């Protein structure tokens, strides 16, 4: 892939010399004669590096650095300053430029600078991706045979570029696995763009995916990049693909077939070189049978399918998974009593690993430092059946307790969600849980 350079320079002769020299060197160069042209180019295209003159007809290049950095902390910027402008160069570096050269610019020196700065840019991107990944928890694989097979499949998936479909019940780690595959592959230095197809429907979804031209609809006051642009050279992760509406499916199929697309309201054909990963908790075959999902699209997106097992199907991994999650939640012990483990083993985990993690998190929050986690915090799992409607007359307090527990269970242990549907604050919910020893 040719590196894309955005050259911001008002002197036409300098630009001409630059383009002649660097096109030969295998660069794709976009010329901007002022900051307005540069901003417009940045709004619609992705660049690997910016070469920026400081004195421009419509403003100061130094201020432009801050604007670029606010949107993209990684893109390499080389600044060209006039002779004797060392204080300006220092300021440029403080604002986030990666390198500077003084005029008159020697193209050979600039070529070397660009090469080095591009390397720095890739390193910065890798670092920031690693940091993002470190912040999120790592993907637990475990010893179960099914997971070992999934591990091998995922490694194979990371090593190639074919579209992958990840299936599995809610909370089994589909999203985590998609990001993991992106991180292990050759595209890790570029973006992994996530789109949740169930959150956005119809035109909203196509606007997000394809972007729009200025004037495409009433509020479109400028050209806007779509997620396909941003995923260029990276990964496009379409989550909940089973919920994509039929009209967007047709548009998206066309992108996959033609490898090109148009922004809404634009005639220009654009290309994006992305790797596709899709996920769904639906059974796509039955959606195809009922006419809700296009068969031709299904064939295109699942060249390789990875099915994540439910937590019920990998109970052998439970102790290791609990230890892993407890540590990731900051617990020093990583072990629960045998009585608690029995409750966890006997439960059917409709919310899978997400639910397990939420329940462990809640138990840890309710456990004072230095004390062991109490079995009472897991009693809502063990007593599940007790909260079904009963014939005996209940007291107001019992009804409230039972209601809180059942809402919590429906929210798969997610305190925030439960508090929201109970219309009380998280703090009040924690207090009530403590009182009723849940």
Q: Min. distance of Cβ 25 from ligand ATP in angstroms?
A: 43
CB contact at 8 A, 52 and 65? yes
CB of 420 to ligand ATP, least distance (A): 17
CB of 155 to ligand ATP, least distance (A): 15
Nearest distance, CB of residue 72 and ligand ATP, angstroms:
26
Shortest reach from residue 126's CB to Mg ion, in Å? 25
Which partner from the list ligand ATP, Mg ion, none does 81 bind, CB cut-off 5 to 8 Å by kind? none
Q: Which is nearer to ligand ATP, 149 or 339 (CB)?
A: 149
Please, which residue, 48 or 414, has the CB nearer to ligand ATP? 414
170 binds, among ligand ATP, Mg ion, none (CB under 5 to 8 A by kind): ligand ATP
Q: Which of ligand ATP, Mg ion, none has residue 185 at its interface (CB below 5 to 8 Å by kind)?
A: none
353 binding partner (options ligand ATP, Mg ion, none; Cβ < 5 to 8 Å by kind): ligand ATP
Considering only the stretches 44-52, 66-74, 174-182, 299-307, report the one whose residues sit in contact with Mg ion under the rule CB under 5 A.
Answer: 174-182
Q: In terms of CB distance, is 65 or 278 closer to Mg ion?
A: 278
Asked if residue 3 binds Mg ion (CB under 5 A), the reply is: no
Q: Is the dihedral of CA 412, 418, 420, 422 positive or negative?
A: positive
Burial class of 111 by CB neighbour count within 10 A (0 to 12, 13 to 18, 19+): middle
CB closer to Mg ion, 121 vs 242? 242
The footprint of ligand ATP (CB under 6 A) covers 137, 139-140, 168, 170-176, 281, 353-354, 357
Confirm or reject binding of residue 351 to Mg ion (CB under 5 A).
no
Residue closer to ligand ATP, measured from CB, 110 or 241: 241
Partner from ligand ATP, Mg ion, none binding residue 72, C-beta < 5-8 Å depending on class: none
| Least CB distance to ligand ATP at residue 193 (A) | 16
Using Cβ positions, the residue closest to ligand ATP within the complex turns out to be: 173
Question: Which of 121, 175, 234, 242 forms a contact with Mg ion (CB under 5 A)?
Answer: 175
Q: Say which entry of Mg ion, ligand ATP, none residue 139 contacts (CB below 5 to 8 A, set by partner kind).
A: ligand ATP
Site residues for Mg ion per CB under 5 A: 175
């Amino acid at each position: 892939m040719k590196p894309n350079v955005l050259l911001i320079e008002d002197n036409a002769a300098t630009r001409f010399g630059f383009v002649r020299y660097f096109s030969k060197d295998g660069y794709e160069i976009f010329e901007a004669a002022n900051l307005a042209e540069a901003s417009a180019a940045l709004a619609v295209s992705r660049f690997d590096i910016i070469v920026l003159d400081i004195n421009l007809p419509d403003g100061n290049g130094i201020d432009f650095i801050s604007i670029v950095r606010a949107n993209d902390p990684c893109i390499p910027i080389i600044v060209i300053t006039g002779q004797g402008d060392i204080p300006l160069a220092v300021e440029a570096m403080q604002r986030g430029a990666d390198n500077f050269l003084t005029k008159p610019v020697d193209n050979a020196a600039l070529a070397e600078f660009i090469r080095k700065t591009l390397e720095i840019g890739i390193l910065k991107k890798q670092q920031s991706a690693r940091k993002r990944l470190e912040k999120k928890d790592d993907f637990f694989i475990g010893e179960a045979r099914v997971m070992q097979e999934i591990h091998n499949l995922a490694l194979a998936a990371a090593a190639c570029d074919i579209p992958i479909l990840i299936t599995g019940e809610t909370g089994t780690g589909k999203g985590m696995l998609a990001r993991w595959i992106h991180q292990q592959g050759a595209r890790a230095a570029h973006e992994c763009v996530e789109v949740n197809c169930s959150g956005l429907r119809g035109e909203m979804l196509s606007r997000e995916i394809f972007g729009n031209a200025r004037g495409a609809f009433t509020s479109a006051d400028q050209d806007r990049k779509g997620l396909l642009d941003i995923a260029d050279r990276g990964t496009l992760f379409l989550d909940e693909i089973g919920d994509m509406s039929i009209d967007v499916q047709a548009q998206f199929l066309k992108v996959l077939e033609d490898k090109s697309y148009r922004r809404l309201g634009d005639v220009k054909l654009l290309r994006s070189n992305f790797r596709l990963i899709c996920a769904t908790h639906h059974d796509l075959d039955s959606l195809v049978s009922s006419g809700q999902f296009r068969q031709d699209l299904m064939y295109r997106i699942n060249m390789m399918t990875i099915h994540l097992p439910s937590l019920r199907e990998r109970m052998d991994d439970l102790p290791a998974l609990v230890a892993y999650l407890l540590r990731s939640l900051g617990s020093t012990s990583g072990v629960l009593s045998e009585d608690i483990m029995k409750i966890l083993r006997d439960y059917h985990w409709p919310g899978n690993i997400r639910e397990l993690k939420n329940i462990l998190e809640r138990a840890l929050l309710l456990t004072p430092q230095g004390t062991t986690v109490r079995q009472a915090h897991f009693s809502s799992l063990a007593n599940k059946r007790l909260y079904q409607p009963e014939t005996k007359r209940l007291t107001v307090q019992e009804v409230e307790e039972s209601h809180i527990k059942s809402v919590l269970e429906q929210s798969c242990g997610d305190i925030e969600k439960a508090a929201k549907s109970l219309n009380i604050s998280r703090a009040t919910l924690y207090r009530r849980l403590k009182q009723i020893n849940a």
